[in-house]
Amino acid sequence: MSNDQNPNQIRRKFLKLLSGGAVLIPLTALHGCSGEKDAPTATSAPAPKTDKPAAQQSQTAPMEKTSAPASDKPMPRLAEDDPQARSLGYLHDATKVDTGKYSRFEAGQACKNCALYAETDDAQWGGCSIFPGKLVNADGWCNVYAPKG
Ligand code: SF4
């Protein structure tokens, strides 16, 4: 490279370089003056205000609200002519048990004092694990009777 360029050539080169820089300077200045300085950043942006704890904000509604409501329909009463009831000698009235056929029956035995009986709001009808989904009579009896503890 030679240093024998005349001052005019050097000045033109300098101005050429300067004009290239002059294009770059406004671009960087635009970035700095674009208002982004005032825009919220990830560290300065406040979290949206809510009454819910953070753990619940991204969750959907609880399952209880979306699932079908429990049925309020009462359980049906066990019929004496139900095949399973007949096979176990179930009767609504224990005093009518055929003691010749069901020798293990003893006076005083009834569903209400059987270990498998489950009381309900209805004093006369309750649940029984032998007949799921059906109510048996508190004064009833069947051959599976088991005295309470
Ligand atoms: Fe009644 Fe007990 Fe028989 Fe159930 S198991 S039907 S409660 S006697």
User: In the chain, pLDDT over 70 holds for what percent of residues?
Assistant: 52
Token duo for residue 97: 């048990």
Query: Which of 117, 135, 148 has most ligand 1 atoms within 8 Å of its beta carbon, as the pocket-test mutant?
Result: 117
Helix (H) or strand (E) holding 125: strand 125-128
Does the pLDDT at position 111 exceed 80?
Answer: yes
Q: Quote the pTM value.
A: 0.56
Query: Which of 136, 139, 143 has most ligand 1 atoms within 8 Å of its beta carbon, as the pocket-test mutant?
Result: 136
Q: What's the pLDDT score for residue 81?
A: 98
140 CA → ligand 1 middle, Å: 7
Q: Report how far residue 60's alpha carbon sits from residue 55's, in angstroms, rounded to the nearest whole number.
A: 11
pLDDT category, 128, cuts 50, 70, 90? very high
141 CA → ligand 1 middle, Å: 5
Chain-wide mean pLDDT for the chain? 72
Which region holds residue 89: left if phi is over 0, alpha if psi is between -120 and 50, else beta? left
pLDDT category, 29, cuts 50, 70, 90? very low
